[in-house]
Amino acid sequence: MEMTFPDVVTLAVPGFVLLVLIEMAIWRATKRGRYETRDSAASLLMGLGSQIAPLLGGGALVFAAYVAAYEITPLRIPNTWWAVVLAFVLDDFRYYWWHRISHERRWFWASHIVHHSSQHYNLTTALRQPWTGGIIGPLLFKTPLILLGFHPAMILFVGGLNLIYQFWIHTEQIGRMGPFEWVFNTPSHHRVHHATNPRYLDANYAGALIIWDRMFGTFVPEQDEEKCRYGIIKNLGTFNPLVISFHEWFGIARDVKNARSPKEALGYMFGPPGWSPDGSRLTSKMIKERWARMRGEANANGPPPSPVLQPAE
Amino acid sequence: MTGNLYLDLLISLGGVAVLVLVSFLLGGWKSATLDEAAARDRLAFDEPDFRPSEWLFGGDGKSAAALSEDGAEAAFVFALGDGLATRRAALGAVPVKVEGDKIVASLHDPSKWALTLAAGSPEEAARWAGRLSGAGYIAPHGNDIP
């Protein structure tokens, strides 16, 4: 029997809308979590734009490359249920590394920062997706799966399932989930990922399976005594979707323009976010080191105020 | 785009509008009030090694500025929706101008080009503009030279 791979993300959209409405109702009833209308509007428009952006040509280009890769490779994996399961796991592994590099290299971060640019953490944040980055990232990270012999449609299908899985974990309405958290990514794990508390930076890159973070040393559990504060290191001063989408690209262009050498220009483009030739800006590694240093001093000198332990506003 | 795509787009925009409206009706349109505690908390979180000596809290509850203990830097805290954000710069690096009782700081940030601080009076605005521009600043609680 011929296996077909529907566009699961489009099919899931009514479910997304329903779940957002339910979460809003819970927020209203319990006052747990945060919603801000303009922030939600920006997130939803970013999500809509991210679905339109590939129609400008990038989506077709990427799919053509996938088909070409499938034609070239001598390997073939049949379209069976077990191949879908295998593809899902391998794609999730692919997602982990793509996601990790999206945080560790500014070129990729310039797109991915959009998803982190809200100071809120709710289901609309899940839909705050970039309009850029839809060509190089997929080509670099998904083409190897196709070269292994998976059909491009299957890879798009399992990628869609992964995206759907990640939707529901963007909430403050669900606490801990017991043994489920040992293997799967959960709201608690992903809250840590979206937090800017130094303790939580650069952690929990997982898509559906948290095992990758546990394997590669990037897993950090949520601490009850340290509430997550969401956003980015330098939070945005606007809800304008165009600025949200392109501000980091603008920053890269400005830095490259002012670079004093090609090496500096490359550093600004492909170094870690926050990299600067003189160290005057802070990378997340430097922020964590500063936090550890200040925490050490605080422990040695008694209890001066520790900003990271203060509750979120 | 085909007709179907236009229709999909229209339906999607309708869905966005419904969710935004529901959020609004449920009381989601909020604006943070930048009181002293909130400003100090946000600055301490974002810039823990910035030691503020003096603060100017805007009269409109939307923005604040702080000078560092060493007299070398300034920090700005401002509200966006129900959240707060900060910017930090060396004194003099941020051009400032006085407009009546307000100070306008040009942050040259694509997401926040300019920050308006309601200083309360033209005199206070001039005094803080001088400090933020690096001129007239001597030391915390020292001589106030506009």
Which pLDDT value is given to residue A303?
A: 52
- The pLDDT value recorded for residue A260 is 97
Q: Is ipTM over 0.95?
A: no
Residues of B in contact with A226 (CB under 8 A): none
> At residue B97, does pLDDT exceed 60?
yes
| A214 touches A93 (CB < 8 A) | no
CB contact at 8 A, A104 and A272:
yes
The answer to whether A307 and B44 have CB atoms below 8 angstroms apart is yes
pLDDT at B2: 58
Please check whether residue B26 touches A, CB under 8 A.
Answer: yes
pLDDT at position A304: 47
8 Å CB contact of A17 and B15: yes
Residues of chain A with pLDDT under 50: 304-313
Q: How far apart are CA B76 and CA A251, in angstroms?
A: 20
Cβ pair B55, B65 in contact under 8 A: yes
A182 — contact with chain B (CB < 8 Å)? no
| pLDDT of res. B143 | 34
Contact in structure between B75 and B66 (CB atoms under 8 Å): yes
Confidence of residue B140 (pLDDT cuts 50, 70, 90): very low
Model confidence band, residue B139 (pLDDT cutoffs 50, 70, 90): very low
Q: Does this model's pTM top 0.80? A: yes
- Does residue B138 surpass a pLDDT of 70? no
pLDDT recorded at residue A143: 97
B83·A120 Cβ contact <8 A? yes
Distance CA B14, CA B22 (A): 12
The Cα–Cα gap between B81 and A58 comes to: 34
CA of A3 vs chain B CAs: smallest distance (Å): 26
Sequence-ordered list of residues with C-beta below 8 angstroms from that of A176, at least 6 positions apart, any chain:
A186, A188, A222
The verdict on a CB contact (< 8 Å) between A38 and B9 is: no
A18 touches B at CB < 8 Å: no
